[in-house]
Structure 1
Amino acid sequence: MVLKLYGSPVSTCTKRVAMVLHEKQVPFEFFPIDLAKGEHKAPEFVAHQPFGQVPYIDDDGFVLYESRAIAQYIATKYADQGTPLIPKGIKEYGLFLQGVAIESSNFDPYASKLVFEKLIKQKYGMTCDEAVASQSVETLNAKLDVYEKILSKQKYIGGDVLTLADLYHLPYGALLPLVPCDAIEKRPAVSKWFKELAARPSWQAVQGGIKGTA
């Protein structure tokens, strides 16, 4: 049975999963969820994703939610096809886990908060909290100063090979210029790393929206 992805075609977290499906060459059916209409809060959706958030997958009856958990599940299940995204060596795997933690602790909280304040609130007619946005920019710049040091010494955030840890940065990182925020562009090593990621066919396939491949 073909894997089913339920999410919003413009959701950052849904794009994260769809991108990994493309990298691993896994055919999938896409079932769009209209967030504006509150479809993610409907009883039939919450029955599969109790927090009422997108996305979730149904893999032949196995339901899984949380985008990073889904991504790692896909990369592990289909380890021998498509792009290797989880290293097999124990030390390399440790660096991969470290990279995942770096993204979830030092990038996502501040990039996502900034995007929410400056872009998402505007889209839904809400008022931006400029103090929160300013603090997010300040903190993100400080964190990316450290990224610059790391990426000046190694090609990827989790070592010398591309992993999920790198790809996880794309959905929110690609929105920063729209804020606008040049935290990535003004750092040479970070900019080079991110431009390479953004040029990947998997991201090009989902950045403007998501379509099933099955």
Structure 2
Amino acid sequence: MVFKLYAAPHVAGGGGIVALALAEKQVPYKFVSVNMEAKEHKTPEFLAMHPFGQVPVIDDDGFVVYESRAICRYIAEKYADQGTGLLPKGSKERIIFEQAASVEAANFYPAVIKIMGEAFGKPRRGLPVDQALLNEAVAELSAKLDVYEVILGKHRFLAGDEFTLADLFHYAYAPLLAGGGVDVMASKGPNVTRWWNDLMARPAWVKLKAEGLNSK
């Protein structure tokens, strides 16, 4: 049975990082577009896969998983011996990875989401942007990246010298910031700038952006 990815048709959010994990691991998949405006994610059939009615969801020969970070871990574990490693093998290295992944989830992601809500979410709903709130959100992310500057001064990526899921999780929304006029990711210290440029130049990411979430 073909590996299926159910997600919105955008190279962003949880669907984007799952598609990127699949690309890094060289796993073929069938993309099933979910029309959020038509509430396809709230149908009884979809709710049977994801009780919260959200995307993404994967169906791997009847094994259904939701929540993007859990899905990415599943992909990295199942296909450990092909493509990019994504998960360290040693026990200490794995703990450092989990530490870095927790930093993304608890510090980076909340700050980015605040910017996304103000700079992108409000205009889509026809609401005016509160510049003061946007400036505050950008300042919060900038402060988080100041800490990243210290961490990335010790090794090439967040969890060490190898690219892992801890880095990959940052692709969910941060690449959209520059397009919205918030160029904070590429305008920090040398370590953050180097790291971010490395992420944006990864072949799997460049190819995914160009091709979109089509069936592979």
Question: Which TM-score band (shorter chain)?
Answer: over 0.9
Runs (5+) with no aligned partner, structure 2: none
Q: Percent identity?
A: 48
Calculate the TM-score normalised by the size of structure 2.
Answer: 0.93
Tell me, in whole angstroms, the C-alpha distance in 1 between the residues paired with 2:195 and 2:158.
9
Check conservation: 1:6, 1:56, Cα contact below 8 A: yes
Check conservation: 2:186, 2:197, Cα contact below 8 A: no
User: What is the aligned partner in structure 1 of residue 82 from structure 2?
Assistant: 81
* Superposition map of 1:128-139 within 5 A: 128-139=129-140
Tell me, yes or no, if structure 1 residue 7 matches structure 2 residue 7. yes
Q: CA deviation at 1:91?
A: 1.2
* Superposition map of 1:1-214 within 5 A: 1-10=1-10, 11-187=12-188, 188-207=190-209, 209-213=212-216
SS in structure 1 opposite 2:65?
strand
Summarize deviations over 1:48-79 as a string: whole Å, max 9, x none: 11111110000000100000000000000000
Q: CA deviation at 1:129?
A: 4.1
Tell me, in whole angstroms, the C-alpha distance in 2 between the residues paired with 1:51 and 1:206.
27
SS in structure 2 opposite 1:9?
coil
Check conservation: 1:9, 1:15, Cα contact below 8 A: no
Tell me, in whole angstroms, the C-alpha distance in 1 between the residues paired with 2:206 and 2:113.
20
Counterpart residue identity of residue 58, structure 1: D
Q: CA deviation at 1:117?
A: 1.6
Counterpart residue identity of residue 129, structure 2: C
Check conservation: 1:15, 1:207, Cα contact below 8 A: no
Calculate the TM-score normalised by the size of structure 1.
Answer: 0.94
Runs (5+) with no aligned partner, structure 1: none
The alignment of Structure 1 onto Structure 2 pairs a total of residues equal to 213
Structure 1 segments of 4+ aligned residues over 4 angstroms from their partners: none
Check conservation: 2:16, 2:171, Cα contact below 8 A: no
Aligned-residue RMSD, C-alpha: 1.4
